[in-house]
Amino acid sequence: MTESDLPVVQLTPGRWGDPTHPVALPAAAIDALKHLGVKRPQTPPGAAGPDSAGRGSAGPDSGGARIGNEPRGAEDLHRLTDGQLSFLASVVGAEHVASDLSSRWAHTRGYSTTDLLRFRAGDASGMPDAVVYPASHDEVAALLAGCAEHELALVPYSGGTSVVGGLAPSRRFVTVDLRRLDQLVELDEISRTATLQAGVRGPAAEALLAEHGYTLGHFPQSYEGASIGGYAAARSSGQSSAGYGRFDQMVVGLTLATPRGTVELGRAPMSAAGPDLRQLVLGSEGAFGIITSVRVRIRPRPAERHFEGWRFENFDAGLTAVRRLAQDGPLPTVLRLSDEVETAVNLADPDVLGGGSGGVLAIIGFDGPYNRATADVLTAAGGTNLGEGPGETWRTGRYRAPYLRDPLLDEGALVETLETAAFWSRIPALKAAVTEAIVGALSATPPLVLCHISHVYETGASLYFTVICAQADDPIAQWRSAKSAANQAIATVGGTISHHHGVGTDHRDAYVTEIGPLAVEALQAVKTTLDPNHVLNPGILLPEP
């Protein structure tokens, strides 16, 4: 089975994946957590299971599953007026407006660790006043056209997999769930493009394209739940970016609904007719409008695929090898390098690394024939070919990591990720500075800090960190402290605040600092033009004026 064959997963609010198929931590992992001082709470808040504290009611969006603790103080939460509900119903139909507690609770926040902790605690502060389910671009446009008159702020919701506070606006709001926009609108086999609606989930997009022999080739770790609209709005990047590019590099056109009308972009693959406004919309995170469809480049499905592992003595040696491939080629489809800590944590059997201790693991993958010239570059850089075993192990376990976070939280561990990117010359200093900042901020609960590179360019690469430690009394404040320290380290060394997770609210202040006041003013002017009443995702991406 490949990524193209995976089904769409019905994500359960407050937990990643299908609660009827829970993932258990290996005994070795639980023992390792004890060495970090992790202690299992007597009753994990919101944990799944008949004896858990999670007794949320099962609404239409929860698939009949528990969705965590009941929201605290729900009876005091604001509800829409009859006039507001009538307006929403007049656009999408009364049967597609949900104001019940279960539906609203199921659309509360995303899937960052702090989101999950708040959900487990029953924190309803980020709950929408209602959820609407439009079925077309025209219905989305009509919602946006009337939202200011009816004093409604709107937040687009596709897969709901944001990990940076992208679903937590600064004031009351209505969620616009795009799941009914789920069609392959057009397939241009001569140009090799496909137009997909924003609500199409990743596996569903692959299935639609596979019927015609094509693939999009975009496989982020959130692939099972994320959607086409979210890919575009957050500038997503997937595991095959070395071969297929980031999602924003795949986009050749899009349709944007705004409170002032519709914007259609992408008449040709490239143009010198002024600035490329497609790039202005990509990454705008619903602040300028709601993307309703995207035209993307597609490629024929590969007839064969190959994955293999390579061992290097240390991260610096592996980094040199990866950079040579990125700059001089030939690039594989997948190129990934884990540091010493991540390699040790992820490989239960040291023999997988070819025997002995130490070293780092690189993964390469090819969609299509194996390219021996790539292997020659890695060998010349000091790499040892470990064969297909480690590569296939990584590929088949690739989407398991998000499922492990819930049992880790149940055990009392704090686990979270962050990512950045920089030019090659800054990568070693950036990795060291971020690691040092996190370790320093979490000195009271000494952490494991794992790091890998999985997205490379001729001029630089991304760094992706995973942090695991014991939870403090206030784990949300604990992580905020660590993230703040990491953000400062990123800014000091000269990295970007995000390579592919986006800005949301978590990175908003750092983003403002990164681009400077004049650039912020320019973006605010764009928002004011398209959204004069600032009703779209208020406080997301940019501060409210």
* Residue 289 assigned as binding residue: yes
Which residues are identified as catalytic? 464
CA proximity to 45, closest of 141, 108, 120, 144: 120
And the tokens for 405? 């976070």
Mean pLDDT confidence for 307-318? 97
Q: Where are the domains of the chain?
A: 3-177, 305-397
d(Cα 288, Cα 59) in Å, to the nearest integer? Answer: 31
CA proximity to 167, closest of 8, 7, 13: 13
* Residue 238 assigned as binding residue: no
d(Cα 448, Cα 408) in Å, to the nearest integer? Answer: 13
HSE value, Cβ hemisphere, 13 Å, CA-based, for 400:
11
In this structure, are residues 175 and 131 in contact, taking their beta carbons and an 8 Å threshold? yes
Mean pLDDT confidence for 249-259? 99
* Residue 287 assigned as binding residue: yes
Whether residue 330 is preceded by a cis peptide bond, meaning omega within 30 degrees of 0, is: yes
> With bands split at pLDDT 50, 70 and 90, how would you rate the model's confidence at 174?
very high
* Residue 109 assigned as binding residue: no
* Residue 392 assigned as binding residue: no
- Residue 458 DSSP code: S
Task: State the distance between the two ends of the chain, measured CA to CA, in whole angstroms.
Answer: 49
pLDDT value, residue 350: 41
**Per-residue pLDDT tens over the stretch 77-120:** 668 999 999 999 999 999 999 999 999 999 999 999 999 999 99
d(Cα 360, Cα 338) in Å, to the nearest integer? Answer: 6
* Residue 382 assigned as binding residue: no
* Residue 160 assigned as binding residue: yes
**Per-residue pLDDT tens over the stretch 448-506:** 999 999 999 999 999 999 999 999 999 999 999 999 999 999 999 999 999 999 999 99
Q: Which residue has the higher pLDDT, 79 or 65?
A: 79
CA proximity to 466, closest of 339, 333, 380, 375: 339
Sign of CA dihedral 5, 8, 12, 13: positive
Name the residue with tokens 């990643």. Answer: 16
> With bands split at pLDDT 50, 70 and 90, how would you rate the model's confidence at 419?
very high
Dihedral of the alpha carbons of 379, 383, 386, 388, in degrees to the nearest 10: -60
In this structure, are residues 351 and 260 in contact, taking their beta carbons and an 8 Å threshold? no
> With bands split at pLDDT 50, 70 and 90, how would you rate the model's confidence at 59?
very low
* Residue 264 assigned as binding residue: no
**Per-residue pLDDT tens over the stretch 361-383:** 999 999 999 999 999 999 999 99
> With bands split at pLDDT 50, 70 and 90, how would you rate the model's confidence at 57?
very low
- Residue 416 DSSP code: E
Fold topology of 305-397: Alpha-Beta Plaits (3.30.70)
* Residue 161 assigned as binding residue: yes
pLDDT value, residue 74: 64
* 23, amino acid identity: V
Domain 3-177, CATH: 3.30.43.10
In this structure, are residues 54 and 19 in contact, taking their beta carbons and an 8 Å threshold? no
Equal fold, 3-177 vs 305-397: no
**Per-residue pLDDT tens over the stretch 198-216:** 999 999 999 999 999 999 9
* Residue 158 assigned as binding residue: yes
- Residue 329 DSSP code: S
* Residue 7 assigned as binding residue: no
* Residue 244 assigned as binding residue: no
* Residue 56 assigned as binding residue: no
pLDDT value, residue 67: 45
